[in-house]
Amino acid sequence: MFQFFQRAFSSFPFGSPELTEKMKRFTQINIAEAENFVRNLSQAKDFQDAVRIQTAYMQNQFHAFGEQTRSLTEAFTQSATGVVKNPFRNY
In angstroms, rounded to a whole number, what is the distance separating the alpha carbons of residues 56 and 72?
24
Contacts by 65-74, CB closer than 8 A, 24 or more apart = 68/22, 68/26, 71/22, 71/26, 72/19, 72/22, 72/23, 72/26
In angstroms, rounded to a whole number, what is the distance separating the alpha carbons of residues 13 and 45?
51
Per-residue pLDDT tens digits for 3-37: 665 565 555 545 577 888 888 999 999 999 999 99
- pLDDT, residue 19, reads 82
Q: What is the pTM of this model?
A: 0.67
Domain boundary assignment for the chain: 18-29+44-73
In angstroms, rounded to a whole number, what is the distance separating the alpha carbons of residues 51 and 8?
38
- pLDDT, residue 20, reads 83
Per-residue pLDDT tens digits for 27-77: 999 999 999 999 999 999 999 999 999 999 999 999 999 999 999 998 888
Backbone φ and ψ of 16, nearest 5°: -145, 150
In angstroms, rounded to a whole number, what is the distance separating the alpha carbons of residues 79 and 57?
32
